[in-house]
C-alpha cells in the first residue's frame, strides 16, 4: 500500500496532462519495477483515452524482465522474430517515427499483440534481449475506442543494467484512424485541463502473490529461447 501511494504521489507531482485539438499528452516520471520485496514485480495499467477500459499493461521486475501486453485486441509495434516464431521484440521507436496504419506495411516493424507479455527488456544469466535495455525509446500503440482505432505512443527508458523502466509519459491522437508522430506533443497552453482526471483513472496493480508474472515470463523465455520472444 505504501508503495502504491508513493508512486501515485510521484506521478501526481511529476505528471502533467496537456491537450490540443488532436493530441492528448500525459507527462510522467516514475520508475516501474524498483521494488524487490515483498513483490517481485510491479504492474501498471494504462488507459490512454480514459474511458475506463485498460488499453495496455506493463510489467517490470528489478533485474529480470520488463514487458507489455495489450488488453482486448489492441496492438503495438514489434520487430518480428524469423518464422516460424511468433511475436518479437517490442520496437524502440525513434522520435519522429510516424505511427499509423501503414507502420506495419513495408517496414521492419509489424503490429502485434497477444495475451503474453512482449519483451521490452529481458535479462537472463545466459543472455540479454530487448530494445529498451539501457535505452530510451517510444512504443508505437494502436488501440480501439468506441469511435474507432486510435494511435499513440509510450515513452519509456530502461534503467542501466536492469529491467526497471522509467515511464516518462504517453500520448494519443484523438481523431480515429489518424496517425501520430512519436514524441510529438501539443503546445502546453491548455495544460492542466485533464490533470485531475488523467491521474485519477490510473491504476497501478501489484501482485501480492509473489512473482507470478515474473515466473511465467522467465520460465517461458528459458523454455522457448529466442524462438518466441513472448
Q: Does 100 bind Ca ion (CB under 5 A)?
A: no
Query: Minimum CB separation from Ca ion for residue 55, in Å?
Result: 4
Pick the stretch among 47-55, 81-89, 162-170, 199-207 that binds Ca ion (CB under 5 A).
47-55
Number of residues that bind Ca ion (CB under 5 A): 5
Member of 6, 9, 13, 51 binding Ca ion (CB under 5 A): 51
Q: Can you name the residues that pair with 65 across neighbouring β-strands?
A: 122
Q: Does 176 bind Ca ion (CB under 5 A)?
A: no
Q: How far apart (Å, rounded) are the C-alpha atoms in residues 98 and 209?
A: 40
Member of 47, 100, 110, 175 binding Ca ion (CB under 5 A): 47
Q: Does 49 bind Ca ion (CB under 5 A)?
A: yes
Q: How far apart (Å, rounded) are the C-alpha atoms in residues 214 and 71?
A: 19
Query: Minimum CB separation from Ca ion for residue 144, in Å?
Result: 8
Member of 53, 63, 203, 226 binding Ca ion (CB under 5 A): 53
Binding mask 10-39 for Ca ion (x = CB under 5 A): ------------------------------
Q: How far apart (Å, rounded) are the C-alpha atoms in residues 42 and 213?
A: 9
Nearer to Ca ion, 47 or 175 (CB): 47
Pick the stretch among 19-27, 49-57, 80-88, 198-206 that binds Ca ion (CB under 5 A).
49-57
Q: Which of 224, 225, 208 is nearest to 40 (CA)?
A: 208
38 by Cβ neighbours in 10 Å (0-12 / 13-18 / 19+) ranks as exposed
Q: Does 72 bind Ca ion (CB under 5 A)?
A: no
Q: What are 134's three cell numbers?
A: 539501457
Query: Minimum CB separation from Ca ion for residue 160, in Å?
Result: 32
Output phi, psi for 16, to 5 deg: -155, 135
Q: How far apart (Å, rounded) are the C-alpha atoms in residues 112 and 71?
A: 12
Pick the stretch among 44-52, 146-154, 159-167, 215-223 that binds Ca ion (CB under 5 A).
44-52
Pick the stretch among 42-50, 70-78, 129-137, 208-216 that binds Ca ion (CB under 5 A).
42-50
If one counts every other C-beta atom within 10 angstroms of the C-beta of residue 217, the result is 24
Nearer to Ca ion, 147 or 219 (CB): 147
What is Dmax (Cα atoms) for the chain? 51
Q: Does 197 bind Ca ion (CB under 5 A)?
A: no
Angle at 20 between CA 91 and CA 58, to 5 degrees: 30
- How far from the centroid of its chain's Cα atoms is residue 30's Cα? 13
- Write out the residues near Ca ion by the rule CB under 5 A: 47, 49, 51, 53, 55
Amino acid at each position: 500500500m505504501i508503495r502504491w501511494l508513493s508512486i501515485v504521489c510521484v506521478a501526481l507531482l511529476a505528471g502533467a496532462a496537456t491537450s490540443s485539438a488532436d493530441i492528448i499528452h500525459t507527462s510522467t516520471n516514475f520508475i516501474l519495477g524498483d521494488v524487490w520485496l515483498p513483490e517481485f514485480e510491479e504492474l501498471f495499467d494504462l488507459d490512454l483515452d480514459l474511458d475506463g477500459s485498460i488499453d495496455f499493461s506493463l510489467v517490470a521486475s528489478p533485474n529480470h524482465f520488463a514487458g507489455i501486453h495489450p488488453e482486448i485486441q489492441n496492438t503495438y509495434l514489434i520487430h518480428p522474430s524469423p518464422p516460424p516464431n511468433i511475436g518479437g521484440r517490442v520496437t524502440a521507436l525513434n522520435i519522429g517515427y510516424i505511427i499509423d496504419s501503414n507502420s506495419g506495411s513495408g517496414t521492419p516493424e509489424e503490429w502485434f499483440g497477444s495475451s503474453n507479455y512482449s519483451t521490452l527488456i529481458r535479462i537472463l544469466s545466459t543472455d540479454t534481449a530487448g530494445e529498451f535495455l539501457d535505452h530510451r525509446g517510444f512504443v508505437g500503440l494502436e488501440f480501439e475506442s468506441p469511435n474507432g482505432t486510435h494511435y499513440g505512443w509510450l515513452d519509456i527508458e530502461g534503467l542501466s543494467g536492469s529491467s526497471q523502466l522509467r515511464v516518462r509519459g504517453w500520448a494519443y491522437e484523438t481523431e480515429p484512424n489518424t496517425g501520430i508522430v512519436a514524441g510529438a506533443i501539443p503546445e502546453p497552453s491548455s495544460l492542466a485541463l485533464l490533470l485531475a482526471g488523467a491521474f485519477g483513472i490510473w491504476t497501478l496493480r501489484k501482485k501480492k502473490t509473489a512473482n507470478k508474472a515474473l515466473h511465467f515470463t522467465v520460465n517461458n523465455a528459458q523454455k522457448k529461447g529466442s524462438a518466441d520472444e513472448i
